A and B are shown apart, each in its own frame.
Chain A
Amino acid sequence: MSHAAVDHPILDPLLAPPFPKAVLPVLRNPQLRKNVAHAIDVIQTKRARLVTEKSDWQQLRTAASAVRAHVLENLAAYLEQFEARCTAAGGTVHWAANADEARRIILDILRQENASEVIKIKTMTSAEIQLNPYLESGGVSVFETDLAEIILQLGEEEPSHIVVPALHINRSQVREIFARRMGLHDLSDDPHALTAAARTYLRQKFLKIPTAISGANFLIAETGGVAIVESEGNGRMCLTLPQTMITLAGIEKVLPRFQDLEVMLQVLARSATGERMNPYTSLWTGVTPGDGPQRFHVVLLDNGRSAILAKAKERQTLKCIRCAACMNACPVYRQTGGHAYGSVYPGPIGAILTPQLMQMQHAQSLPYASSLCGACFEVCPVKINIPEVLLELRSQVVNQERRHLGRFFDPMYLGLRVANLLFSNAWLFHVAQSLGRMGASFFTRKDGWIHSLPSVGGKWTQTRDLRGLPGQTFHEWWAARAKEAK
């Protein structure tokens, strides 16, 4: 496929190559890097303008963070309340301990409905549990309805961002996909024409397919209500036209009360798309006679979340409201886009969420996919201290890996152990400095710079020089000066 210039497996952390390896095809793809940088620069600029406009932005962040932390600390009580209220309002609540159970519950509901087709609102949670391939193999045709998701589905591409999943694909690539899959060979690459093509393609599906699947932005414990935040109206179509609605939501998505939306909606749209408010936000409560689906199911998904909840420092990961501000602000993501993270959750939040959802058994390279610059924490509307969690996970990775004999002579592990020994004693450190100076002199050219180093050092010198070590360290200079003064 001409547009699928990046070779990547399906975004499954079990199969994904480590991050430093996964970035290589991306870094060699200037078109993709340009697409990604353009898209996030646009969002970043808009977000910055609207956040500056909001004089109480920091107070909103504080409130949003406090509400989310409060929910997580009291999650069992709020989930039980949500379940009771949603059930009283005519909904059916299911609990899924893991991905497999969630997939089976959803397919069972679809079979009871005799559904051979289903329309879907964009939901990263369903991508997390790889729902679509499972339903397809179970005989149900799945139709994504978000424009970006249609592009991905028809183009057999993977999402690279959680809010704008197709941001790595440009207009001419979209044209190619639509022309081929919709049979529209005269289609232009004007985004208006492409959007109109998607509208036409989906209109009849909205009107004909009586079963829909959604995610949830928020579950309201007080009322049993569910809120979905969107832009295109495909969400409203899926929430309103079908007879049966299935909502898949992570257990962490609860808010205590309806009123909490006054904070969350204000921070979410600004953080996610740089808008004061997204075009459509819908809230519904169970089943309303005469309006919308008359059968409503909520599937509450754990899939590793309760294990994250158990750890005090990592718990904040679950405060996330999936706005993607962290990936938009991340200088690493800006270079790599999302696929390199090997998970449907890319960027800084993905770097902490994915390894934890995998119970620290996979994705061990992700906590290192950050320069710890702190931009993610600064923009996070619920104040997740992502660098703090990255460091915590790095120490868990080291504790796991250093037990393996194979790691003993790994240059990085060896180097850090030796460095620690040297730093524990100034005399040893000074001897090492002298030896280092002698060693470095073999690599230092006449211009006083090192252009090439072996082993780990070669990773540095592949793109940067290193100034040769000076003949006198600072402490030697200080000692000499003190001697002179006497």
Chain B
Amino acid sequence: MTASVDSRERILDRIRSATQSVALEPAQLASAYAALPRTYIHSGALSAAARVELLVERLREYDAEVVECTPEQLPASIAAQLAASGKRTFVVPPELPPAWHVPGFNFMIDRGLAHSEIEQAEGVVTAAFCAVADSGTIVLHHSSAEGRRVITLLPDWHLCILYASQVVETFPEYFHRSPQPPELVTWISGPSATADIEMTRIKGVHGPRFLHVILVHD
């Protein structure tokens, strides 16, 4: 679009002339950025056990259901969660560990399922990239064990399996774990919610209304 090309130059020119007294040369930009004050807390001070305890507490505050188990108990724990949900059909990402496909349920493996097919699933089971205890946040980078964004969106019930070793205390610690910026991220802090009507918090508007977490003590 030609108009847009002209506008590009026009806008950038206006910005450059507006900032000419303060803008830095490209060579200086990176060092000026590096010198910005970052005196906030980077690393947490909690023990591993306390960190996990904090995450569990914060997740529960958001109305997420959390159960804890050992690696050996995981398949049984998954089966118990799925059974308790009363649901039968679950969509799963293509590289969910085979051991998590517990018998007795229908798993639809997402190898490019249509939205209408995912919409038919009653739940979804995924892994996660990590979790942040301080804010009770589950982080998905949408790898092939975490699944495409749509599978954790359309089903009403989400079971997320998280290892204690994946839990960090602070938000900055997560960013340190992720030195290469990811292309896709979803930060999930509790189930979908709104407070648009009289500030009354209502769980579940469009995203999954039920978030379950199995925390595996590895």
A contact residues vs B (CB 8 Å cutoff): 35, 38-39, 42-43, 55-56, 59-60, 62-63, 66-67, 70, 72-77, 79-80, 89, 94-97, 101, 104-105, 108, 145-148, 151, 164, 166-167, 170-171, 174, 191-192, 194-195, 198-199, 202-203, 206-207, 220, 222-223, 225, 231-234, 236-237, 239-241, 251, 256-259, 261-263, 265-266, 269, 273, 275-286, 288, 290-292, 300, 302, 306-307, 309-310
B189 interface residue (CB < 8 Å to A): yes
Contact: A258 with B195, CB < 8 Å?
A: no
Distance A240 CA – B191 CA, assembled complex (angstroms): 17
B87 interface residue (CB < 8 Å to A): no
Question: What are 26 pairs between A and B in contact, CB < 8 Å?
Answer: A70-B33, A73-B19, A73-B22, A74-B24, A75-B15, A75-B19, A105-B1, A166-B197, A167-B196, A171-B197, A194-B197, A206-B206, A236-B149, A241-B115, A251-B11, A257-B33, A265-B187, A276-B58, A277-B135, A278-B189, A279-B188, A279-B189, A280-B186, A283-B185, A290-B148, A302-B14
**A194-B197, A279-B190 known; A77-B29 Cβ under 8 A:** yes
Q: Which residues of A contact B22 (CB under 8 A)?
A: 73-74
Contact: B206 with A233, CB < 8 Å?
A: yes
Q: Which residues of B contact A171 (CB under 8 A)?
A: 197-198, 200
A31 to chain B, nearest CB (A): 12
B137 interface residue (CB < 8 Å to A): yes
Contact: A38 with B187, CB < 8 Å?
A: no
A429 to chain B, nearest CB (A): 42
For B16, B174, B183, the residue with the greatest tally of chain A CB atoms inside 10 Å of its CB is B183
Distance A174 CA – B194 CA, assembled complex (angstroms): 14
* Residue from B8, B112, B182 within 8 A of A95 (CB atoms): B8
B36-44, B68-76, B78-86 - interface stretch: B36-44
Q: Which residues of A contact B37 (CB under 8 A)?
A: 59, 62-63, 66
Distance A39 CA – B185 CA, assembled complex (angstroms): 31
Contact: B32 with A291, CB < 8 Å?
A: no
Contact: A105 with B4, CB < 8 Å?
A: yes
B23 interface residue (CB < 8 Å to A): yes
B184 to chain A, nearest CB (A): 6
**Interface SS of chain A: helix, strand, loop or mixed?**
helix
Distance A307 CA – B17 CA, assembled complex (angstroms): 10
Q: Which residues of A contact B196 (CB under 8 A)?
A: 146-148, 151, 164, 166-167
B18 interface residue (CB < 8 Å to A): yes
* Residue from A96, A145, A237 within 8 A of B4 (CB atoms): A96
Q: Give B40-64 interface residues, CB cut-off 8 Å to A.
A: 40-41, 58, 62
Q: Which residues of A contact B39 (CB under 8 A)?
A: 56, 59, 62-63
Q: Which residues of A contact B4 (CB under 8 A)?
A: 94-96, 101, 105
**A70-B33, A74-B19, A101-B7 known; A265-B193 Cβ under 8 A:** no
For B24, B171, B182, B205, the residue with the greatest tally of chain A CB atoms inside 10 Å of its CB is B205
* Residue from A147, A170, A291, A309 within 8 A of B150 (CB atoms): A291
Besides A232-B192, A275-B189, 5 more A-B contacts (Cβ < 8 Å) are: A43-B199, A63-B37, A63-B40, A96-B4, A281-B187
B contact residues vs A (CB 8 Å cutoff): 1, 3-5, 7-8, 10-12, 14-19, 22-24, 26, 29, 32-33, 36-41, 58, 62, 112, 115-116, 119, 132, 134-137, 142, 148-150, 153, 171-172, 174-175, 178, 181-200, 202, 204-208
Q: Which residues of A contact B189 (CB under 8 A)?
A: 275-280
B57 to chain A, nearest CB (A): 11
Distance A263 CA – B8 CA, assembled complex (angstroms): 30
Q: Which residues of B contact A251 (CB under 8 A)?
A: 11, 15
Distance A231 CA – B200 CA, assembled complex (angstroms): 13
Contact: B11 with A236, CB < 8 Å?
A: no
Contact: A198 with B183, CB < 8 Å?
A: no
Distance A8 CA – B41 CA, assembled complex (angstroms): 46
Distance A302 CA – B171 CA, assembled complex (angstroms): 32
Q: Which residues of A contact B135 (CB under 8 A)?
A: 266, 269, 276-277
* Residue from A79, A145, A266 within 8 A of B171 (CB atoms): A266
Contact: B150 with A241, CB < 8 Å?
A: yes
Distance A448 CA – B37 CA, assembled complex (angstroms): 58
Distance A108 CA – B26 CA, assembled complex (angstroms): 35
A91 to chain B, nearest CB (A): 12
Q: Which residues of B contact A273 (CB under 8 A)?
A: 195
Distance A18 CA – B5 CA, assembled complex (angstroms): 38
For A39, A148, A276, the residue with the greatest tally of chain B CB atoms inside 10 Å of its CB is A276
Contact: B14 with A101, CB < 8 Å?
A: no
Closest A residue to B189 by CB, please name it: A277
A193 to chain B, nearest CB (A): 10
B49 to chain A, nearest CB (A): 21
* Residue from A75, A269, A292 within 8 A of B149 (CB atoms): A292
**A74-B19, A262-B172 known; A167-B194 Cβ under 8 A:** no
Distance A258 CA – B193 CA, assembled complex (angstroms): 26
B150 to chain A, nearest CB (A): 5
